[in-house]
Chain A
Amino acid sequence: DAGVIQSPRHEVTEMGQEVTLRCKPISGHNSLFWYRQTMMRGLELLIYFNNNVPIDDSGMPEDRFSAKMPNASFSTLKIQPSEPRDSAVYFCASNVAANNEQFFGPGTRLTVL
């Protein structure tokens, strides 16, 4: 199995630009999670989906952030407009909802100048 796939691995953009992060969960997994990791705030859950439906988006910081899961094999996290304080590593994870272990992707390192 290829594991959770995230793209791009690195993204550098300028303030005000739109950023789209992509995630392909492990085949057969029905839950998908987006996390953000920073030195100051540690690892934060932004949103998670069950069967492509958003279940809990209480961690989404503000309206500039949006996430979609149009099908079981693809999800996007969009930031529009981006700001320097959005610089972080963004992780996607997936699991089978009935099981405990979440499998993490390698992350996307976002730098907003």
Chain B
Amino acid sequence: GDSVTQMEGPVTLSEEAFLTINCTYTATGYPSLFWYVQYPGEGLQLLLKATKADDKGSNKGFEATYRKETTSFHLEKGSVQVSDSAVYFCALRGGATNKLIFGTGTLLAVQP
């Protein structure tokens, strides 16, 4: 079945460092891909998405490119801030289903 694999955390960075959180997926057909963010004590919020190959999703300085050839959707940000500290979830929605398949989440801790 469909699945998402993302790098384990925690990822600890200093402010203004470059961020990469790896995400790969397994799916039949052409899934839509998402990154969700969960701030402490809150529910998940959509950060960005891409619906077809080579699409780049971007929001709040974060970017991810849908790479069909490598089945990847890595999250990047050029300069992280303390306020980016959160748990980041990669997810896919495949085919005609309305279900999201989530990865296990990656905790990002940014230190001043």
Contact = CB atoms under 8 A, between A and B. Distances in A.
A97 B43 contact: no
A75 interface: no
Given A42-B105, A43-B89, A43-B105, A102 B100 contact: yes
A43 B4 CA distance: 12
Q: Say which size band chain B's interface belongs to.
A: 10 to 19
A2 to B, nearest CB: 13
Interface string A81-111: 0000000000101010100111111110000
B42 A106 contact: yes
Main secondary structure of the interface of A (DSSP, over half): strand
Contacts of B45: 104
Q: Say which size band chain A's interface belongs to.
A: 20 to 34
Contact of A48 (B42, B89, B98): B98
B32 interface: yes
Interface of A: 4, 31, 42-43, 45, 48, 50, 55-56, 91, 93, 95, 97, 100-107
